[in-house]
Amino acid sequence: MNTKLTLTIERNVIQKAKSYAKQKNSSLSGIIENYLKSLTKEDSKNKKTQLSPVVKSFKGSFNMPIDFDYNEELRKGLQEKHL
């Protein structure tokens, strides 16, 4: 069910947003609705994600060096595995 919503936004922002929506073959309402959905999805996703007691027990038990580069270590590991 759709419901009307009144917003107060600067005129030039509305004009730019309408132009953007037109370029994307969408409506301004649709863009705003999708944006609000993505915001609320992230919030609910963060609330649902909880660590298990076992994982919580590991928290803080491992300290990485300050200069640790995960991507570099991953690359090295893959090279060793496949070469």
The model's pLDDT over 41-69, given as tens digits with 9 standing for 90+, comes to 865 555 666 778 888 887 777 777 888 88
Its pTM surpasses 0.75: no
For residues 32 and 51, which has the higher predicted lDDT (pLDDT)?
A: 32
* Distance of alpha carbon 65 from alpha carbon 45, whole angstroms: 30
**Is residue 1 domain-resident?**
no
**Is residue 51 domain-resident?**
yes
User: What is the number of structural domains in the chain?
Assistant: 1
Q: Tell me: pLDDT of 72 over 60.
A: yes
For residues 59 and 37, which has the higher predicted lDDT (pLDDT)?
A: 37
Domain of residue 73 covers 11-82
Instruction: Quote the pLDDT of residue 45.
Output: 56
Q: Tell me: pLDDT of 12 over 90.
A: yes
**Is residue 56 domain-resident?**
yes
**Is residue 2 domain-resident?**
no
Would you say 21 and 27 are in contact if contact means Cβ atoms under 8 Å apart?
yes
**Is residue 3 domain-resident?**
no
**Is residue 23 domain-resident?**
yes
